[in-house]
Amino acid sequence: MTRRITISLPDDVAAYVERSRNNTSGFIAEVLRRKMRADGLRTRWAELGYVVTDEDVERTRARLAAKAPISDEQHARNMKWLAQFDEGSAAA
């Protein structure tokens, strides 16, 4: 089941969405599902005693941004490894 909602986006964000996918609704749904999974992980980690704050995330992003980029091959290996943790993945 789906529901129709209307949202307003800043021009730069709307342009990015339009360039990224033909299906704007599908693109936004995918982004929100990722956010939902991330929030679920934070909740689970907190239950285990590990609290991850927005500041922790930003600090880690800054640290990673300072590192040299990885190769396309390493990225593909990383994505394959991460796929095992996707809820809908056949590898799970």
| Residue pLDDT, tens place only, 3-60 | 999 999 999 998 888 887 778 888 899 999 999 999 999 999 999 999 999 999 999 9
The candidate with the shortest Cα–Cα distance to 92, out of 76, 75, 80, 74, is 80
- Determine, yes or no, domain membership for 38: yes
- Determine, yes or no, domain membership for 50: yes
To 10 degrees, what angle do helices 24-47 and 11-20 make?
100
- Calculate the CA 88 to chain-centre distance: 15
Locate 66 and state its tokens: 């300072």
- Given a cut of 70, is residue 90 above it in pLDDT? no
- Residue 66, helix vs strand vs coil: coil
- Determine, yes or no, domain membership for 81: no
- Given a cut of 70, is residue 92 above it in pLDDT? no
Range of the domain at 58: 11-68
Q: What is the pLDDT of residue 18?
A: 87
- Determine, yes or no, domain membership for 20: yes
- Determine, yes or no, domain membership for 85: no
Size (the chain), residues? 92
The candidate with the shortest Cα–Cα distance to 82, out of 38, 28, 25, is 38
- Determine, yes or no, domain membership for 62: yes
Mean pLDDT across 76-87? 88
